[in-house]
Amino acid sequence: MTTANEALTPSHDGGAGHPEHHHSPDRPGDHPLAGLHLTGRIVRPSDPDWDAVRMPWNVAIDQRPVAVVLAADAEDVTQAVRHAAHHGLTVTAQPRGHGASSDLADVVLIRTTALDDIWIDAETRVARVGAGVRMGALQAALDGTGLTALSGSSGDVSVVGIALGAGLSWFSRAHGNAAQTLRAVELVDPHGRRRWVTDESDPELMWALRGGGGDFGIVTAAEIGLVPAPELHGGTIAFPIDAAPVVLRAWRDATERATRDTSLWAALLHLPDIPEIPEPMRGQSFALVQAMHLGDSAGLDALLAEVRAAGPVLRDSIHPVAIAEVGTVAEDPEDPSPSMLAATRLTGLTDEAIDALVAVAGGGSGTPILQVQLRHLGGALADPGSPAVAGPEAAPYLMSGLAMVPAPPLAPVMSAGLDAVLDAMAPWATGTAPLTFLDRADTIARSYPDDAVVRLQLLKELVDPAGVVRSNRPVLDAAIGARTPEALVSEI
Ligand SMILES: Cc1cc2nc3c(=O)[nH]c(=O)nc-3n(C[C@H](O)[C@H](O)[C@H](O)COP(=O)(O)OP(=O)(O)OC[C@H]3O[C@@H](n4cnc5c(N)ncnc54)[C@H](O)[C@@H]3O)c2cc1C
């Protein structure tokens, strides 16, 4: 592992390889960012707050970049990218770090957190947000407008990060993925040029930005579409874990009746026996059904009647949800957490599939992982939308397993726990997952078909031949199938 005082030789392999590491004293004059002057700050390994600044939200990823640029504005981002391009460095954007993926050993990390401007035009249903704006902050600003952004389960992720990753929202069954709401993007391209990108100005780049991640430039702001949400109901219904087989069947049946206005998720949750978890939840396991409904309570109550009858209800928090509250309904962890994820789309959920899942992750399974979550997809997610690499979703469900890794030696145990869930569900799994649900050694090839990955790779070579910009899932890291790139290109 690289130590904090190592200055590293930049490489152009996208950070995926193992560049030679050269020890050198961390004197400002020696540092690769020497000569870069910003309104914001450059934080280096020798700075006292280095450890706090370098860490991502997912603290299981011990990332040690060359330096962290705390950009104060878009001009800082421009200067940082120009400096990187001129000196053969690689840069990556990381507003929050929920999607952190690697050690960033030869990379300059740009935090866009301070780019927090929000401008809303309720009339035209458009929001313009800086690249540091959290989804929760946008939702708070939208409170009372009757409009919502396509928020996922956490209010703490950035609006830009989730949109670039295609983003699955509570409202995706009604309105598609979050990338579909991207109207225009302000970015600094890999040559350090500031650009305003739209479908008209640059259709190929917009196609890639809608789900291809942050490999094509550092975004400084984006314009996103908003959707009407005059009334919302949602929350969690919790059952004892032993009720899981019946609860999951009732939830599955409800998803088959649900209209596009309703998203229903289910989970098997195993809370650890640690002081941070309050009694009586500590050390307990539950089967959960979670809901978000664009509309009044009557429609949702009718849909949930059989679910509520599926076992003893320990907690029922279904309630009118304010727009500002959307990012808390799923009760995701808010504080930085050491986590590991494994996900796959599912082709369906038969009774046999539910029994297989309960056997590997239900009560008495001994699974070490925190949670397995099932999300109902379909609806508008299956519709063709704006041109996007994140095309229509054919699969009806997404399964994701989440494990906490409180100490590195536990990583193999948690990884094995996640693999056991994937193995048990293999007969019903596509083996693919949305970009924002990738983890561990996953590449973007798990998210998109070969021809789409090749198209992303060709665009990457075109716009960033020197490999200046790198995302958390670099498109050039993806190995494509048996067909040659030439054959694939001829099919596009
Ligand atoms: C608790 C939790 C709940 C989640 N819920 C959902 C959910 O409901 N639906 C869903 O789809 N995903 C969900 N995610 C995943 C999350 O959406 C992704 O991790 C996403 O990357 C956004 O997180 P972030 O803002 O922290 O991005 P970061 O981790 O900071 O960045 C991730 C990547 O996004 C790109 N990026 C971000 N900003 C820029 C920029 N300004 N310019 C260029 N590239 C950029 C870069 O490639 C970067 O590597 C969840 C994650 C967690 C931890």
DSSP assignment of 92-135: EE-SS-TT--S--TTEEEEE-TT---EEEETTTTEEEEETT-BH
Residue 6 has pLDDT above 80, yes or no: no
Banded pLDDT at 207 (limits 50, 70, 90): very high
**Mean pLDDT for the stretch of residues 426-438:** 97
Residue spans per domain, the chain = 7-111, 118-228, 232-437
The DSSP output letter for 194 is E
- Residues with beta carbon inside 6 Å of ligand 1? 57, 92-100, 112, 131, 152-154, 157-158, 160-162, 164-165, 167-168, 213-214, 218-219, 332-333, 436, 471-472
290-343 pLDDT, tens per residue?
999 999 999 999 999 999 999 999 999 999 999 999 999 999 888 899 999 999
Distance CA 78, CA 131 (A): 13
- Mean predicted confidence (pLDDT) in 133-155: 96
- How far, in Å, is the centroid of ligand 1 from the Cα of 167? 8
> In the numeric block, which tokens belong to residue 113?
């957190």
Report, as an integer, the average pLDDT of 346-373.
97
Mean of pLDDT values over 231-257 = 98
242 has a pLDDT exceeding 90: yes
The CATH architecture annotation of domain 118-228 reads: 2-Layer Sandwich (3.30)
Per-residue pLDDT at 280: 83
Name the more confident of 215 and 7.
215
Closest CA to 404 of 354, 368, 454: 368
Residue environment code for 39-71, b if the CB has 16+ CB neighbours within 10 A, otherwise e: ebbbbbbebeebeebbbbbbbbbbbbbbbbbbb
Distance 157 CA to ligand 1 centre (A): 6
Concatenating the DSSP letter of every residue in 427-487 gives GGB-S---GGG--TT--GGGTS-HHHHHHHHHHHHHH-TT--B--SS-GGGPPP-SS-HHH
Q: For residue 320, how far is its CA from the centre of ligand 1 (angstroms)? A: 27
Which of 111, 138, 157 for a ligand 1 pocket mutation test, highest count of atoms within 8 Å of Cβ?
157
- Check whether 388 has a pLDDT greater than 50: yes
The model's confidence at residue 24, banded by pLDDT at 50, 70 and 90, is very low
Question: Whole-model pTM?
Answer: 0.92
Please tell me the distance between residue 57's alpha carbon and the centre of ligand 1 in angstroms.
10
Residue 129 confidence (pLDDT): 98
The CA dihedral of 92, 102, 483, 467, to the nearest 10 degrees, is 30
Nearest CA-CA partner of 373 in 404, 351, 342: 342
Q: How far apart are the CA of 279 and the centre of ligand 1, in A? A: 32
118-228 matches 7-111 in CATH topology: no
The pLDDT assigned to 483 comes to: 53
* Both tokens assigned to 460: 């990457």
Strand pairing partners for 444? Answer: none
What values do phi and psi take at 207, rounded to 5? -60, -45
For the record, the structure tokens of 278 come out as 């309050």
Residue 333 three-state SS: coil
Ordered DSSP codes for 394-412: --SEEEEEEEE-SSGGGHH
Q: The domain 7-111: what is its CATH number? A: 3.30.43.10
Phi, psi dihedral angles at 38 (to 5 degrees): -130, 160
Question: Judging by DSSP bridges, how do beta strands 67-70 and 107-111 pair with one another?
Answer: parallel
* Percent of the chain's residues with pLDDT above 70: 91
The CA distance from 290 to 23, in Å, is 51
Is the per-residue pLDDT at 14 higher than 60? no
**Nearest Cα to 112, choosing from 139, 76, 165?**
76
Which residue do the tokens 């050039």 mark?
476
CATH fold of 232-437 reads: Vanillyl-alcohol Oxidase; Chain A, domain 3 (3.40.462)
**Sequence-distant (≥ 6) Cβ neighbours of residue 204 within 8 angstroms:** 459
- Nearest protein CA to atom 12 of ligand 1, as residue: 436
Examine the pLDDT at 12 and tell me if it is beyond 70.
Answer: no
Query: Can you tell me whether residue 301 is helix, strand or coil?
Result: helix
In the predicted structure, residue 382 carries a pLDDT above the cut 80: yes
Q: How far apart are CA 266 and CA 250, in angstroms?
A: 10
Residue whose Cα lies nearest atom 32 of ligand 1: it is 99
**280 preceded by a cis bond (ω within 30 of 0):** yes
pLDDT value at position 276?
A: 82
What does the alpha-carbon distance between residue 240 and residue 258 come to, in Å, rounded to a whole number?
24
Q: In the predicted model, is pLDDT for residue 50 greater than 80? A: yes
